[in-house]
Amino acid sequence: MSSISSSLIKPEIQQLSPYQVPDKVYPIKLDAMENPYSLDVSFLEQWSQVLKTASLNRYPDPSAQTLKQQIRTTFAIPNTQELLLGNGSDELIQMLIVALNQPKTTLIAVEPSFVMYRLIAQWMGMSYQGIPLQMPTFSLDMPALIKTLETHQPTLLFLAYPNNPTGNLFSDQDIATLLEINSGLIVIDEAYGPFTDHSYLSQLPNYSNLLIMRTLSKLGLAGLRLGFLAGSALWLEQINKVRLPYNINILTQITANFALQHYTTFQDQAQKIRQHRTALCQQLTQMGIKVWPSQANFLMFSLPNAVSIYQELKKQGILIKCLHGSHPLLENCLRVTIGTPEENGVFVRTLQTLLS
């Protein structure tokens, strides 16, 4: 870096690497936990008619009230709870950290988990503590968590439920214990809620220190970049103060509102993905591969030669996620998103050929 830029940019930023997203197009892309199903023609035609109502020369509704009401209805969010929308979950995480970051405060997350909890904390200069999960099931290490809570008195604790990249749910009893003993805010990230029957949304009225974060990305609307926080107005009214004006554009507001009116379409797709997840897990297990049970739209598995298999799959036009090197507990681990039956079939056959 030049002397001018190196003197002006924070040292913590200079030491970081940018978040990497593959930019090459692959015929079979199973790396990003996207819904593999496109929408039918009749749905798209109705959507295009709705989009014609957008006044692109005007700013969008700054509070997105119509969309909020549709979200509340679709996800049965208690009327006693407030909503805050973000440009994807990432912006919500950033808003939380900006609002709660004070000198000597700490953010805690378990590891391995969603990397943006740690990255955004580092960007914002907030102290971060990562607590390793317990092997072999990637469960919560409660003694370590309790000790860390007592020592650091964290302002913010993130729990992904189901967890990414491991796919598992944490013990309800463990989560209840954390909610009871933690004096700070606990955010349960339910990004993969469409693929499990478990949720804490109904528990919001029972805990004043609980927020639930969700996204529409995994549901099948990743291109919209829309997430929401649900919880007590005492929290969200304060966090809303650091939200940028008009953060949810008019096309996202209109499209998300229309899509959620057809929520059963996405529920049907999620059910298919669950079924294909079961089938793919069985196929990989029958090949002698170690696969971790998943409640999300992906499977994590391990192979002795994981990195070379990952590279060979790429050469065959199949992109999955290589987790090896991202965390000590993920040595020789790979993660595959559940695709269509055809995509899953090509992946399995190619993997069988490579392993033989």
**pLDDT tens profile 242-283:** 999 999 999 999 999 999 999 999 999 999 999 999 999 999
- For residues 149 and 173, membership in a common domain is answered with yes
- For residues 213 and 272, membership in a common domain is answered with no
Beta-bridge partners for 290: 302
- For residues 217 and 294, membership in a common domain is answered with no
- For residues 92 and 206, membership in a common domain is answered with yes
- For residues 224 and 311, membership in a common domain is answered with no
Residue 14 lies in a domain: no
Query: Domain tally for the chain?
Result: 2
- For residues 214 and 107, membership in a common domain is answered with yes
Q: Is the pLDDT assigned to residue 290 strictly greater than 80?
A: yes
- For residues 238 and 109, membership in a common domain is answered with yes
Residue 4 lies in a domain: no
Residues 342-353 have pLDDT tens digits of 999 999 999 999
**Domain containing 31: what range?**
20-35+264-355
- For residues 115 and 159, membership in a common domain is answered with yes
- For residues 121 and 24, membership in a common domain is answered with no
pTM of structure? 0.94
Which of 230, 261, 292 terminates a domain? The answer is 261
Dig out the tokens for 108 from the structure.
């805690």
Residues 103-141 have pLDDT tens digits of 999 999 999 999 999 999 999 999 999 999 999 999 999
CATH of the domain at 212: 3.40.640.10
Q: What is the mean pLDDT of residues 2-25?
A: 73
CATH of the domain at 340: 3.90.1150.10
- For residues 171 and 287, membership in a common domain is answered with no
- For residues 86 and 180, membership in a common domain is answered with yes
